[in-house]
Amino acid sequence: MLKLPYEIWIGARYAGLGSSRGRGGRRDRFVSFVAASSMAGIGLGVAALIVVLSVMNGFQKEVRDRMLSVLPHIEIFVPGSDPLAALDGWQALVASAKRSPAVLAGAPFVAAQGMLMRGQSLRGVQVRGIDPVAEKEVSDAGRQMVDGRLTDLKPGAFGIVLGQDLADMLQVRVGQTVMMLAPAANISPAGFSPRMRQFTVVGTFRSGHFEYDSSLAFVDAVDAAKVFRDGALAGVRLRVDDMHRAPEIAQSLLPLLPSSVMVADWSRNNRTWFAAVQTEKRMMFLILTLIVAVAAFNLLSSLVMAVKDKQSDIAILRSFGATPVAIAWIFLVQGAMIGVLGTLTGVIGGTLIALNVDVLVPAIERLLGVQFLPREIYFISALPSDVRLNDVVSIGLTSLVMSLLATLYPSWRASRLQPAQVLRND
């Protein structure tokens, strides 16, 4: 049978893991209760950190994926005021870009801002002129259709595909018409008149991203070039094999393309939003780490109480020949066990909660009759979670380091007690 050193056995008993029967059992139970409270505080802090960071990771990943189901990985802009001329050479641009093995597909686009009018309703929209056949290679728009098909967009037919929320706002359905207003105006002898064109709704889509579902409209690229002939950007959208490498791939494309074009990747186009989310994540980590720090201070105070309560025991051990280092190890073991068990409890509990957020949150919403993420306010309507190993490891290590630091002073204080003075005053 393995025989543990007495420092570990006594430290485990003080931590509440050993027997508390016999002389002083009631005092031992009180010390064990304080130790259990410290352990619970550490576990709650660690669990809260894991859950919050996992939800923030999930939020970032979900929004990014939904954005990229509509937006391209890389865009190549062709300078000039005539989008029709830019569309003529889009196949050559794609062929040049495909000389890079990282580029999977390309499709033309025309991007512009406009307004849609239906009755008394007027909405600003982002207009995307696309090639319906080539578009399915670079985005998921074709698979997100609720009504109709993306291929129902035909050149010269002036059809339009609306986000489902945008269609609901305009109270329009497939087969009905809307009026498109371009920012530019026509000049005639009678003066300036707004440029307008009637479009027929041929379908609706839902990406799951409220911003796009409520403000994005697809039309045929040729029709968009005609309506926004002097107020649109045109070029090519590319899909690459690894969206995380899009900035690197975009830079590698520059030598393969004409010097006149401009290249932008999805991270550059949305840099402010992703930088803000990353900053929020760091700040939440620092703020919630204070919960673990408070629990570590609670551990320190509980160990100081244990040292005060066990002065007689310490003096007896010293009288039997225990060294100051052995006494210090007893309380180091006690604090370490509390910190390790609290951290493990928090890691396991927090990970389980984070992995089941998609089940727990809807249950709480049904129980309380509230909705935490209204679609009209937030990008997404469900609370996602993405548990990452590096976050769990960093949180666990932070908790362990704080717990071990909290044990140093009480252990040193216990090792400095003089047995003769303690026994004389006891």
Q: What gap in Å lies between CA 294 and CA 292, rounded to an integer?
A: 5
Low-confidence ranges of the chain (pLDDT < 70): 1-4, 6-7, 14-32, 80-81, 184-194, 231, 269, 372-382, 420-426
Residue 218 φ/ψ, nearest 5 degrees: -105, 135
Residue 17 contacts residue 337 (beta carbons within 8 Å): yes
3-class SS of residue 119: coil
Q: What gap in Å lies between CA 337 and CA 291, rounded to an integer?
A: 19
H or E element, residue 239: strand 233-240
Q: What gap in Å lies between CA 105 and CA 327, rounded to an integer?
A: 69
- pLDDT tens column, 153-172: 988 889 999 998 899 999 89
Q: What gap in Å lies between CA 129 and CA 218, rounded to an integer?
A: 6
CA angle 96, 97, 103 (to 5 degrees): 145
Q: What gap in Å lies between CA 35 and CA 285, rounded to an integer?
A: 26
Q: What gap in Å lies between CA 52 and CA 47, rounded to an integer?
A: 9
Q: What gap in Å lies between CA 55 and CA 388, rounded to an integer?
A: 10
Q: Check residue 20 and give its pLDDT.
A: 47
Strands 103-118 and 74-77: unpaired
Residue 414 contacts residue 304 (beta carbons within 8 Å): no
Strands 216-220 and 121-130: parallel
Residue 418 contacts residue 313 (beta carbons within 8 Å): no
Q: Check residue 50 and give its pLDDT.
A: 92
CA angle 269, 275, 281 (to 5 degrees): 145
| Beta-bridge partner residues of 162 | 204, 217
Per the structure block, which two tokens stand in for 173?
A: 């359905």
Per the structure block, which two tokens stand in for 204?
A: 């609706």
Q: Check residue 200 and give its pLDDT.
A: 92
Q: Check residue 263 and give its pLDDT.
A: 87
DSSP letters, 131-178, are -HHHHTTT-SGGGGEEES-GGG--TTT-EEEEEHHHHHHHT--TT-EE
Tokens 């996992």, residue? 54
3-class SS of residue 263: strand
Positive/negative CA dihedral, 396, 402, 406, 409? positive
